[in-house]
Amino acid sequence: MADSDLITRAAGGDAAAFQALVERHRSMVYRVAYQFAGNHFDAEDIAQEVFIKVFRSLDKFRQDAQLSSWMYRIVMNACIDHRRRTMPSGAAPFGEEAEHKMMNTVEDTPGPEERAYAGELGQVLEAEIGRLPPGQRVVFIMRHHQGLKLGEIAEALGLAEGTVKRQLHAAVHRLRHALNGAKVTAGERA
Amino acid sequence: MSCDLQAAGTIELYFYGELPQPERAAVQAHLARCAECRAALEDLAVIRAALAKRPDVATPPGGDWSGFMRRLNVAVAAEPSSRGPLDATPVRPLRRQLAPYLAVAATLTLVTFAVLTVLNRRPVPDTTSVATAPPTAGAAGAQPLRQASLTMTNPDPGLLAVSGEHFERSKLVVLGLVTKSGPQDDWAYERDLASSLLGDTRLYRQAAEERGMQPLADVMGDLELVLLQTSMADQPNEASLHQLQRLIRRRDLLTKMNAY
């Protein structure tokens, strides 16, 4: 049965249809959530939030829209909401300006130099991905893990393609910087 | 970064294969004479290779979706616009599964109340946190909660029911902690259980907040704090155990949970 049919049925009160919808898309949602959060606990939290939002919005889904795009947008918002909720109290930003800050503020975790002592570039990159601002992280994950093209990401997230390109560029720039720092550190220690 | 092509993100588009052919040819020509862009391209290849080794995690641990679906089922059933549970196996079968544990919890409750009654007659001063202890600590603190519960406007009966069951499960942790006496007691079981209950607790707290059921949300918040600290105790020792016991006592958590 097509997604659009399942949504129509679920919106009409068919619990089995909603369950089928969840079962069909939960792996995609969990995969993105895990790549974003880096652990099962938060990934499950985000994935739960996504499907609750989907449930609340069943009536609003436009039949001519792509379900995957709609769901990606919900996943991205859930990731950012989750990051906001888990920020230290008093630091949670609100409003448009703060939203921009949220999308671009660096996470305060140990820097790549500290991680480089482990000697594994993969670990350095992993740590740096965890430090990416939420907006950059989502775009980067969608490009590298989901293999979506910039246009597809822009459509899915409802952003201009130029914005996606800038977010991705900023993310890659940060990762390259971390990578080069690790190379230098590893070279000094060799 | 001094090269314009790199600053504009063009090298990345080239790397991703997203440049149209004429531009692609121009970038190839540029790469032949720009060491900076060649280095960028090399870095991108290293990043891609490293990311390829990153685990692709698309399911909860062990590929077991049952806990996820059960929690989602509870959350969806508690939605104001709920169309009913997702399937026919939600809360009640779980209760049956937990029946043996609940029986243990009930027994522990009796034992603990006996212990607490004795302890309340001989109060021990809290030397580390007296200054921060809230004035409502102790059994009297539960009274406003009961009143607040009764005066909640439009409490959601479904959420109250699942919260009551959740408190029963959580008592296994709380009671287990308050009845331990020292480092010789292993509390790995309580830590594991606390970790598994944390997600539900957070979910119920958020649901209570969204419905304006603040007294319930407050108790869930207190429980969440205890479960979080329990699950995060990497090296459980006497000091951390006592800290948790003080927290449970100060928040009067057991009495508050029993109010539901």
Q: What is the pLDDT of residues B78-106, one digit of tens each?
A: 777 665 555 434 334 344 444 455 555 55
Confidence of residue B207 (pLDDT cuts 50, 70, 90): confident
Mutate to test the interface with A, among B36, B76, B192, B224 (most CBs of A within 10 A): B76
Q: Which two tokens stand for residue A65?
A: 């829209």
**Mind listing the pLDDT tens digit of every residue in chain A (190 residues)?**
888 889 989 988 888 999 999 999 999 999 888 888 888 888 999 999 999 999 998 888 877 667 777 888 888 888 877 877 765 443 333 334 444 444 444 444 443 433 333 346 777 888 888 888 888 888 888 888 778 889 888 887 778 888 888 889 899 989 988 888 776 555 555 4
Is residue B141 pLDDT above 50, yes or no?
Answer: no
Q: Which two tokens stand for residue B79?
A: 């939605």
Q: Would you mind telling me the total number of residues written for chain A in this entry?
A: 190
Q: Which two tokens stand for residue B6?
A: 């790199």
DSSP, res A46? H
- Cα atoms in the Cβ-side hemisphere of radius 13 Å centred on A186: 15
Q: Which two tokens stand for residue B142?
A: 């539960």
Mean pLDDT taken over chain B: 73
State the Rg of chain B over Cα: 27
Confidence of residue B111 (pLDDT cuts 50, 70, 90): low
Please state whether A81 falls in left (phi above 0), alpha (psi between -120 and 50) or beta.
alpha
For chain A, the first-to-last Cα distance in angstroms comes to 59
Is residue B127 pLDDT above 60, yes or no?
Answer: no
Model confidence pLDDT, tens digit, residues B211-258: 888 888 889 988 988 888 787 765 667 777 777 888 888 888 888 888
Of A92 and B107, more confident = B107
Instruction: State the average pLDDT over residues B61-83.
Output: 83
Of A80, A68, A63, the C-alpha closest to A25 is A68
- Residue B123 has a pLDDT of 45
At B63 the three-state DSSP class reads helix
Is residue B137 pLDDT above 60, yes or no?
Answer: no
Q: Say yes or no for a CB contact (<8 Å) between B47 and A179.
A: yes
Task: Indicate the residue type of A21.
Answer: L
Q: Which two tokens stand for residue A92?
A: 């949670």
Give the rounded percent of residues in chain B with a pLDDT score beyond 90: 8
Q: Which two tokens stand for residue B201?
A: 């607790």
Which of A116-125, B44-53, B142-151, B152-161 is the most confident on average? B44-53
Residue of A nearest to B49 (CA): A122
ipTM of the complex: 0.71
Q: Say yes or no for a CB contact (<8 Å) between B48 and A51.
A: no
Residues of B in Cβ contact (< 8 Å) with A175: 47
Give the rounded percent of residues in chain B with a pLDDT score beyond 70: 68
Among the residue ranges B21-30, B44-53, B111-120, the one predicted with the least confidence is: B111-120
Confidence of residue B114 (pLDDT cuts 50, 70, 90): low
At A122 the three-state DSSP class reads helix
- Residue A23 has a pLDDT of 95
Of B107 and A61, more confident = A61
Q: How close B41 comes to chain A (CA, Å)?
A: 10
Q: Does A184 touch chain B (CB under 8 A)?
A: no
The CA dihedral of B237, B242, B247, B249, to the nearest 10 degrees, is 150
